[in-house]
């Protein structure tokens, strides 16, 4: 019982600065929950939550690499949903790849081995940036013509990117101006 109380106090003290609980003038019993963070931090928060939710939905072994996905997308200025979407197409988010290769991206025909998922994500992000984007292949369609043999690869990647975008929209709605009238 004491641990539960301590945990609740801990959550209240440390999470309270991130939320605003208040009433607006003239509207009694209206409670507003809004995350108080700079806009760029909110953007990263939404992207991280989005990637985490989608990877959890697919029970992906890549779920623990959400921070790596976010870090490389900002480091290489790549759409944050592109690399996880490629993993969705190439290996069903890390479920099907050559054992011990840690290559859920089909990189090098899936025959390139990495020491772990973090290295795979970092190398693939670097490779996409330097071998595709920096050479003028800036659309998913253009990347797909070189990256994959399948003529349907682009459609599949776009399907997963769309799932990520819809999930982000839902998260933004949830944490946006969410009011409850009593």
pLDDT tens, residue by residue, 108-163: 999 999 999 999 999 999 999 999 999 999 999 999 999 999 999 999 999 999 99
* pTM check: above 0.85: no
d(CA 96, CA 111): 13
pLDDT value at residue 175: 81
Least confident of 19-23, 63-67, 133-137: 19-23
pLDDT value at residue 41: 84
Give per-residue burial for 61-80: e unless 16+ CB within 10 Å, then b: bbbebbebbbbbbeebebbb
The residue-averaged pLDDT of 68-83 equals 96
What average pLDDT does the chain have?
84
Share of residues in the chain with pLDDT > 90 (%): 71
Share of residues in the chain with pLDDT > 70 (%): 76
If one compares 20 and 143, the residue with the highest pLDDT of the two is 143
Which residue carries 């953007």 as its tokens? 43
């Amino acid at each position: 019982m004491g641990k539960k109380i301590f945990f609740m106090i801990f959550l209240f003290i440390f999470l309270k600065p991130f939320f605003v609980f208040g009433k607006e003038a003239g509207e009694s019993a209206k409670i507003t929950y809004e995350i108080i963070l700079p806009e760029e931090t909110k953007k990263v928060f939404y992207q991280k939550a989005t990637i985490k939710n989608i990877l959890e939905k697919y029970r992906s072994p890549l779920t623990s690499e959400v921070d790596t996905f976010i870090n490389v997308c900002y480091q290489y200025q790549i759409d944050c949903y592109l690399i996880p979407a490629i993993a969705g197409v190439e290996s069903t988010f890390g479920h099907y790849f050559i054992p011990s290769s840690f290559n859920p991206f089909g990189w090098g025909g899936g025959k390139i081995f990495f020491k772990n998922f973090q290295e795979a994500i970092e190398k693939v992000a670097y490779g996409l940036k330097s071998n595709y984007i920096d050479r003028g292949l800036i659309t998913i369609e253009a990347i797909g013509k070189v990256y994959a043999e399948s003529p349907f690869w682009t459609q599949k990647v776009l399907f997963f990117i769309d799932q990520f975008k819809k999930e982000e929209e839902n998260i933004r709605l949830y944490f946006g101006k969410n009011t409850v009238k009593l």
